[in-house]
């Protein structure tokens, strides 16, 4: 079901899944282009979660999706404040990739992270993509531009404020307990569980993986039930 939520900066769209009662999970998508590549996957996962009798919400962040706010006007606090407002009824927080960087200030009974990443890695990936594109055109992007004052910087097709990039570069996933981390088999970093699958966020176009979505929904449902008991 399509709904909305209100925050200090306005009103944003939000998808709702599952029953009207029982535990509720709020999910933070990855940031920037990774959100577009994984949105269908996230929806498939939350629909599978509803099959376990667990409700969920998937909010659009300011500057993303159907938001009327321009991304270049978004600050880090815009995302954390909006996500907190969208989590009003949620007792559990789930996050994918860079979404883990904005979910830490939500009071929650539990946290569940899939493939979490540090903000420094996120910004580095954005810069590398820009530098690769510039090389093809005979140009060169200096990542020190982020530390200088100036207009928004275009990275992966998005105009992003330098303040937001600097804030994200310093951000880390908030692993307040109880927190469960799941990663793909190809990711050697520590996790509570490693699962088979491919990184959809690395693909050139949006894609889906229903088998992985079902597997993650099973894991998240078991985690929510455990933390509810």
Which CATH number characterizes residue 47's domain? Answer: 3.40.50.1820
Q: What is the pTM of this model?
A: 0.95
- In the chain, how many domains are there? 2
Residue 88: band (very low, low, confident or very high) from pLDDT cuts 50, 70, 90 = confident
The pair phi, psi for residue 16, each rounded to 5°, is -120, 140
Residue 177: its pLDDT value, please? 80
| Number of residues that make up the chain | 229
Sheet of 2-7: strand order equals 2-7, 10-17, 55-59, 24-28, 92-96, 110-114, 179-184, 193-195
Instruction: Find all residues with CB under 8 Å of 222, minimum gap 6, and list them.
Output: none
Average pLDDT of the segment spanning 124-138: 91
Q: Do residue 129 and residue 221 come from a single domain?
A: no
> What span, in angstroms and rounded, lies between the C-alpha atoms of 45 and 66?
21
Average pLDDT, whole number, for the chain? 95
Please tell me the predicted confidence (pLDDT) of residue 176: 76
Confidence of residue 158 (pLDDT cuts 50, 70, 90): very high
Same structural domain, 112 and 34: yes
> For the chain, what percent of residues have pLDDT higher than 90?
86
User: What is the DSSP track for 86-136?
Assistant: HTTT-SEEEEEGGGGGS-TTS--SEEEEES---HHHHHHHHHHHHHHHHHH
Residue range(s) defining the domain that contains residue 154: 120-172
């Amino acid at each position: 079901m399509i709904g909305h939520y209100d925050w200090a900066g306005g009103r944003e769209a939000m998808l709702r899944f599952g029953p009207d009662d029982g535990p509720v999970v709020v999910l933070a998508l990855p940031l920037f282009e990774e959100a577009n590549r994984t949105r269908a996957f996230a929806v498939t996962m939350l629909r599978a979660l509803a099959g376990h009798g667990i409700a969920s919400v998937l909010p659009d962040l300011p500057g993303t999706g159907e938001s009327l706010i321009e991304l270049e006007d978004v600050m880090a606090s815009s995302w954390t404040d909006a996500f907190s407002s969208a989590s009003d009824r949620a007792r559990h927080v789930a996050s994918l990739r860079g979404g883990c960087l904005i979910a830490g200030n939500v009071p929650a009974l539990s946290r569940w992270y899939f493939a979490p990443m540090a903000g420094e890695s996120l910004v580095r990936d954005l810069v590398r993509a820009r530098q690769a594109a510039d090389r093809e055109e005979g140009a060169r992007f200096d990542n020190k531009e982020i530390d200088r004052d100036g207009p928004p910087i275009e990275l992966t097709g998005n105009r992003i404020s330098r303040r937001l990039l600097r804030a994200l570069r310093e951000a880390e996933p908030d692993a307040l307990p109880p927190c469960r981390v799941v990663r793909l088999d190809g990711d050697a970093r520590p996790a509570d569980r490693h699962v088979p699958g491919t990184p959809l966020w690395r693909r050139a176009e949006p894609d889906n993986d229903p088998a992985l979505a079902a597997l993650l929904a099973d894991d998240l449902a078991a985690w929510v039930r455990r933390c509810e008991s």
